[in-house]
Structure 1
């Protein structure tokens, strides 16, 4: 199980479409807290259960993925629970957005995503709306896990 102390490590998967570079350029979070799977030594195409187990070995991992079906197979749910990885699932609708629009929406929601992760316990999972709501906090729907309310 991952540490519950210390800073969160935001991990973007191979489907992030250049978002990692843009978030770093915008200094959204400190560089050492924002990485991709390759930087962790996890190759693209790693099966989801293996990915969740490997991420669970790192301190306070938060996976941001466009794989909205990450938790559907039972075996993946077990790996997710065992690893304590926090998930932000950006479903199929995100994948249909042009890259520029995907980036704009993700950049808008990023501060709220970070706040939601900081207020949540290890193992929480959220679905991220592809639309920009009136308040950015309404963009996240708890799938499972524990969280504290953010203000």
Structure 2
């Protein structure tokens, strides 16, 4: 069962370590609440279901990953629902960007990630497009809430 108490913390998948450093060095919003998986005691290479369960057991977390299909397999979906971790799925398109451009766009959407994580409730998943949106458009698409069904 996930621990629902405490402050909201943010973690990124182990392939995004440079973005953790970027958030900290730029003193981005809530940078003091950004932790690496290692800092919360999760071993490198942890399987997704175990990673989600462990994160959920350690408090309120928003997890940002470039694995856009993280919750598609049934076992991972079940682990995610149990964990109540909020997910931000960056997807494959983020990986095609040059590092500088990826960093620029990530810093652009970071305040929105923070706001969605705080206001959207625990246990929801969002897809985050790798584009800087025009005024009045949204980069985020709600994938599903905690109790929603999947096709």
Fold match by TM threshold 0.5: yes
**Given that residues 2 and 61 in structure 1 are in contact (C-alpha distance below 8 angstroms), is that contact kept between their aligned partners in structure 2?**
no
Cα distance, 1:140 vs structure 2: 0.6
Secondary structure of 1:16's match?
A: helix
Counterparts of 1:127 and 1:19, CA distance in 2: 18
Counterparts of 1:137 and 1:59, CA distance in 2: 32
**TM-score of the superposed pair, with normalisation by structure 2:** 0.89
Cα distance, 1:137 vs structure 2: 6.7
Structure 1 outlier segments of 4+, above 6 Å? none
Counterparts of 2:69 and 2:90, CA distance in 1: 9
Figure out how many residues of one structure are paired with residues of the other and give that number: 146
Deviation string 1:71-98 (CA, Å, 9 cap, x unpaired) is 1100000000001010000000001111
Give 1:62's aligned residue. Answer: 62
Is 2:79 aligned against 1:79?
yes
Counterparts of 2:137 and 2:106, CA distance in 1: 13
**Given that residues 17 and 36 in structure 2 are in contact (C-alpha distance below 8 angstroms), is that contact kept between their aligned partners in structure 1?**
no
**TM-score of the superposed pair, with normalisation by structure 1:** 0.89
Deviation string 1:28-69 (CA, Å, 9 cap, x unpaired) is 244541011111121221110011110111221100111111
- Aligned CA RMSD, in angstroms, stands at 1.7
- Unmatched segments (≥5 aa) in structure 2: 147-151
